[in-house]
Structure 1
């Protein structure tokens, strides 16, 4: 995005905002990456960053953490790998190991998050575990960052030799200390270390009495440090072993350096991911601390900001929303330029800066200090005239600098530009400056750019009041206290309150009256008109507030009554549940009796009598279930039963209820299953007749003769099971060989009921099957009883 003038970002206080984000970074990687952050170039890029921030917020809210404090910057070490023959230091290798382990921790923290894939997953999973690198380094370097003794056989041998030599040196040295101490040759501290060797602290007057090597003496000269002769050769041997140990360690570090060099690109990429993650968490914290949001950024040039605040003021006030007044503004290709007027120090300039900052925040991928419902587009150019740009060096007065800015705007502004101008036309003769400002405003409007301009000129306010692409706005002013409220009001110009403020400041009344007489009558009338409109607006606002308060009281009353109604419904539901439980218990008792009779009926001498008892029990159970159904249906007028004939209100199609699923029903319409909300269904006009015919159970004759065919079409599944079981029992009691059960084709519900009933009496049945299509096919079941 092109910006003008060169110091625009400084005037917008953008660097204050950027610094607050940098402070939020936990690692040096994040802070350094943020300092070189490149502005985003498209709406898609911005929305992608917002999606990552949103994903991280969800990740954090669900209690997951990324170890940002473990992010180390190893880029200087990676740069050394480009130098031929360079070997990394031990601490650098340890840092590489730390980074590789941190990668594993980050991936593990993501694995613990039970979530659908998000942009955060894609970012983190762009780096992978590198167990081979970790194992290769851990084979040589331990957790403390030191070379392991078992890193090589030769190193183990050298360290064993070093340990033995140190023990010998200690034994010999302690012997010398004991001997010389008894002779009172030693100083109080007895011993010290010089040049990596243990030395005796000898009183200076006795130094020639001790054979050995003089390494040092104290500043006072009273103490000399002598290596005993008996330890010299041991120290020499130890020095040789230590040197050999260092050479072996260098060989191991050289080997690790070559391994790390192969993984240099992988490690460098992980550093970039670490930096981006740190910046994401800082942006997320920034969003939370300053109560920001991430609305959808559009590619077209539009400004629809809701409850927008000046971001730099928010940072200065440490996120205190009460101290920064929000504003709403809408600008688009039809309503292009907002002209803000009103008294000085009323907040006009801060509103301009707020709009400019919004554009820069978007380019930095930062959340915006406005409502989530806002809409904002990206502009290709941000041009502004803010403050006083007079320059003695360039011989520019305030007015000249403003004209220079205006010339640049007219030459460079397009329909994709945002132009911000403060104190438009000021700095010259009021009448001449106003006339030129009006001409410039019309020329700028012809450029079709989006703009916000502040002014005190009455002719510009009048122009905006009748121009289709320019709208008036004002900063609200409290006439009682004669102080600004910093609230932006759209649709009307603002008064200057020149005389009111002068009166408040105790300017003599006669001077004020004289000034009024000298003002052009038309200008004064226009200002008075604005004043009167403001008074009317305040009256309407007061009435609106009173109505809103009444509405809130009504809402509270409605909430209370709704809660009371809910309590009554809960009590009713509890009573209904108790009754249903009792009826269910009665149903269970009857079912147990029915099962007992079915189980033992073949042992009874009078099968016919038992069949009649079964019929009676089934009728009693059906009666109870009918009562339960009525109890259930009474609580919901939309409740239907399986088998009901219903009509779809929208399409007027009719069908049969096959299944009830909560507030929806599965309906068979034209041999197709449809899931329909019960509120969209009503009972069919043919339902009553069906209930009287199809849904009445066909009675089994109690005479010795048996109807060889049972028709259960129109029954519910439960009714069908009971009826078929009873019919089969009666048929066996009448010693029937074969019977036919007509269940129809439909959706197969009644066929499953028949099969369930047949399985309950399978030991009495030899076979059952569908006849040929001409005899009913899959709509009929022919049952063959076993011969007794």
Structure 2
């Protein structure tokens, strides 16, 4: 990727934001060398690692990595036989302990069955050295100090040092107490030349004897080692020398122990640095609410709700930026300070970030391409040193771009053709866009020239776009509108600012008819867009309601069949029990009859005995009460049906009127405009519907059935007229079943806005109301929610 694009789009500033989240020097080195790549496999791997990092950040708060210095110089020194000091060994120890901690962390992730795309492969590259790690942690603390546990000899020496120091202090405390205090400048014990001394006044230097090691700046105080402690100081010094020698021996031994493992330790540091870099990308992604985009094989770029990463995320306006699938060229027109340049930079910078494996501040389902080169001609490139005008400088840059463009390029042109005669500039801009299109490169360009608006309509694979401008507030909304060219708002702005209408009419008469037609066409497109947005929101509302209803029906349907199966199972079980009991009793009766026939030599059973047996069999039948049997009750009610009755057709859930009976159990039924023949069991008598009591109710109902917009535009209306429209509109919207509507009243003097606010406060059907978000009109529109 060319260096110029990285500077133009401020790629380094994005890297600086990520650097704030890194804690290791190897991680910072990886970030410092990071540049976008056009290799598909590499980008895929980088993005997979970023996705893993975001997943771990979300589930576990990130990979546990402490601050680690660059240990490459230390490993180089032990390779040539040098010994490391305590601080350097502590840095190596930190790498080894972090290796063990990271190993345990990933083993815990694997035990929890957390799937990762790439990071388990990095974990497998770590080499755990538990024995060496234990040896270093035992001998060296985190500050690089050699501990008493480093060797038995060092522990013994340090115990001797502590005892010697205690003896010396006790001796000196005895000297500076009591009557000797008058000979001292201060009753303290201090050190000079690594030996314990006391501060003695100059005139009493001979009182304690011993050795003078130092004196004060004024010469009035001498720091004397009294003769009583000279031998004790000598012993202490001997122990200190032995300690230093033992520490040097221990450091040399530990340094030698590192030599066989130096390559593994260096590689561990590199892997930890890479994991730290992934951690940093994930923290950056969490901070900006980023996602990992999909890669489009066809280089179709679709950044939904894209935000520039270097703009305050509380203020930046998100836009859908699309190029490649339906059109390869986008021409953005509109006034200055509307956000055209930022839109260009957002597209280019997000593409560079994606090809660097970084998460992007876009919505889910966004896709990116992989371009061999991204070119940009953005900003004022005027060069005094080279004696180039703005136009010449831009042309020089464009010429160099056209020399390298191919079908794997993305090009960003800001104010294409500007800085020269408008007619010539527009012609050049069109010719340049044609040349880029002929090479099948993707291009997004901004311009002021009206000729390029027509170009966007006439050229295939090219579409117009613009940045929305709110004439009411005389300010841009920074929203990108794909498919709508920008138009001049000079007349509307001048009118809002109070310019004489006659002057505006004169200007309109002077302007070229073709330009006027173009502006009117653009205005019509904008109106159609707003209507489409309103209908889209209304449709979305109905779709959500339908989806909810469908879900409820599915759940009810499933519940019904589950319950039916349960009840059928219970009924079958009960029926089987009854049948078994009946069979058992019947067999008993038959057995009794057989015994009667065989007993006593009878050849025929008596009549009263048969009657008794028959009665006992009849008693086995269980009567069903009609009032508790819904099926029989329904059948009974159906027999009462007659022509002219209103009925409910249960299979369709519709009301109808009986015309005549056909056959034994069939009826001809009038359902609306349809006549249908239906079984009598499918019909249920219902009470007739009462006629409407008032024409007003009927009118309102028919009004609710007609189309009611979800937005009411009152701009330009008088106060009384506007309030009357609001009253009628709210009634119609409530009857239409809308949960909320938007009233656009503009900002203006604020009188209309205040009047509507007071009216809404007193409306019995209004649950709440508030100004619209900034990107939907701000305090120029009010969103009303109904009870």
Task: Give TM-score scaled by structure 1 length.
Answer: 0.67
Task: Determine the C-alpha separation between the residues in 1 that align with 2:378 and 2:576.
Answer: 81
User: Superposition pairs for residues 519-598 of structure 1, below 5 Å?
Assistant: 519-558=511-550
Equivalent in the alignment of 2:85: 89
Equivalent in the alignment of 1:2: 2
**Equivalent in 33, 36, 39 of residue 36 of structure 2:** 39
Aligned-pair CA distance for 1:267:
2.0
Task: Determine the C-alpha separation between the residues in 1 that align with 2:543 and 2:367.
Answer: 30
Aligned-pair CA distance for 1:535:
2.1
Equivalent in the alignment of 1:453: 445
1:98/1:482 CA distance change after superposition, 3 Å = closer
Residue-by-residue CA offset, 1:111-133 (whole Å, 9 max, x unaligned) = 11123564111112211211232
Aligned-pair CA distance for 1:459:
2.3
Task: Determine the C-alpha separation between the residues in 2 that align with 1:309 and 1:366.
Answer: 14
Aligned-pair CA distance for 1:32:
4.1
Task: Determine the C-alpha separation between the residues in 2 that align with 1:278 and 1:449.
Answer: 37
Equivalent in the alignment of 2:45: 48
Task: Determine the C-alpha separation between the residues in 2 that align with 1:157 and 1:588.
Answer: 96
Aligned-pair CA distance for 1:357:
0.5
Q: Is the 8 A contact 2:62 2:279 kept in 1?
A: no
Equivalent in the alignment of 2:509: 517
Any idea what SS the aligned residue of 2:20 has? helix
Task: Determine the C-alpha separation between the residues in 2 that align with 1:171 and 1:323.
Answer: 72
1:133/1:10 CA distance change after superposition, 3 Å = same
Task: Determine the C-alpha separation between the residues in 1 that align with 2:179 and 2:568.
Answer: 103
Q: Is the 8 A contact 2:88 2:144 kept in 1?
A: no
1:440/1:184 CA distance change after superposition, 3 Å = closer
1:537/1:582 CA distance change after superposition, 3 Å = same
Q: Is the 8 A contact 2:467 2:476 kept in 1?
A: yes
Q: Does 2:120 align with 1:121?
A: yes
1:233/1:310 CA distance change after superposition, 3 Å = same
Task: Determine the C-alpha separation between the residues in 2 that align with 1:225 and 1:307.
Answer: 78
Equivalent in the alignment of 1:236: 234
Equivalent in the alignment of 2:136: 137
1:139/1:402 CA distance change after superposition, 3 Å = closer
Aligned-pair CA distance for 1:419:
0.9
Any idea what SS the aligned residue of 2:187 has? strand
Q: Structure 1 residues 244-253 or 28-37, which shifts more?
A: 28-37
Equivalent in the alignment of 2:332: 340
Q: Does 2:62 align with 1:77?
A: no
Task: Determine the C-alpha separation between the residues in 1 that align with 2:238 and 2:388.
Answer: 79
Q: Is the 8 A contact 1:47 1:296 kept in 2?
A: no
Equivalent in the alignment of 2:280: 282
Alignment RMSD:
3.3
User: Superposition pairs for residues 280-429 of structure 1, below 5 Å?
Assistant: 280-298=278-296, 300=298, 302-312=299-309, 315-317=310-312, 319-320=313-314, 323-332=316-325, 335-429=327-421
1:158/1:393 CA distance change after superposition, 3 Å = same
Number of equivalenced pairs: 578
Q: Structure 1 residues 465-474 or 275-284, which shifts more?
A: 465-474
Q: Is the 8 A contact 1:70 1:102 kept in 2?
A: no
Q: Does 2:407 align with 1:437?
A: no
Q: Does 2:246 align with 1:248?
A: yes
1:435/1:217 CA distance change after superposition, 3 Å = same
Q: Does 2:498 align with 1:500?
A: no
Task: Determine the C-alpha separation between the residues in 2 that align with 1:270 and 1:353.
Answer: 38
1:155/1:483 CA distance change after superposition, 3 Å = closer
Q: Is the 8 A contact 1:456 1:496 kept in 2?
A: no
Task: Determine the C-alpha separation between the residues in 2 that align with 1:69 and 1:128.
Answer: 18
Any idea what SS the aligned residue of 2:242 has? helix
Q: Is the 8 A contact 1:347 1:486 kept in 2?
A: yes
Structure 2 residues without counterparts, runs of 5 or longer: 582-787
Equivalent in the alignment of 1:210: 208
1:205/1:345 CA distance change after superposition, 3 Å = same
Equivalent in the alignment of 2:21: 24
1:570/1:188 CA distance change after superposition, 3 Å = farther
Equivalent in the alignment of 1:100: 96
Task: Determine the C-alpha separation between the residues in 2 that align with 1:521 and 1:493.
Answer: 18
User: Superposition pairs for residues 117-266 of structure 1, below 5 Å?
Assistant: 118-138=117-137, 140-141=139-140, 145-149=144-148, 151-152=150-151, 154-156=153-155, 158-177=157-176, 181=179, 184-219=182-217, 221-266=219-264
Task: Give TM-score scaled by structure 2 length.
Answer: 0.67
Residue-by-residue CA offset, 1:468-507 (whole Å, 9 max, x unaligned) = 2322222333455454333323334232223223323333
Task: Determine the C-alpha separation between the residues in 1 that align with 2:137 and 2:435.
Answer: 72
Equivalent in the alignment of 1:639: none
Any idea what SS the aligned residue of 1:24 has? coil
Structure 1 residues without counterparts, runs of 5 or longer: 590-788
**Equivalent in 457, 464, 474 of residue 472 of structure 1:** 464
1:122/1:506 CA distance change after superposition, 3 Å = same
1:191/1:573 CA distance change after superposition, 3 Å = farther
Q: Structure 1 residues 499-508 or 269-278, which shifts more?
A: 499-508
Task: Determine the C-alpha separation between the residues in 1 that align with 2:197 and 2:573.
Answer: 97
Aligned-pair CA distance for 1:464:
2.5
Aligned-pair CA distance for 1:284:
1.1
Q: Is the 8 A contact 2:417 2:429 kept in 1?
A: yes
Q: Is the 8 A contact 1:341 1:494 kept in 2?
A: yes
Any idea what SS the aligned residue of 2:535 has? helix
Residue-by-residue CA offset, 1:416-461 (whole Å, 9 max, x unaligned) = 1111111122222222322232223222222221101112323222
Aligned-pair CA distance for 1:581:
9.1
Equivalent in the alignment of 1:781: none
Equivalent in the alignment of 1:109: 105
Aligned-pair CA distance for 1:59:
3.1
Task: Determine the C-alpha separation between the residues in 2 that align with 1:465 and 1:395.
Answer: 38
Any idea what SS the aligned residue of 1:311 has? coil
1:574/1:368 CA distance change after superposition, 3 Å = same
1:138/1:468 CA distance change after superposition, 3 Å = closer
1:345/1:186 CA distance change after superposition, 3 Å = closer
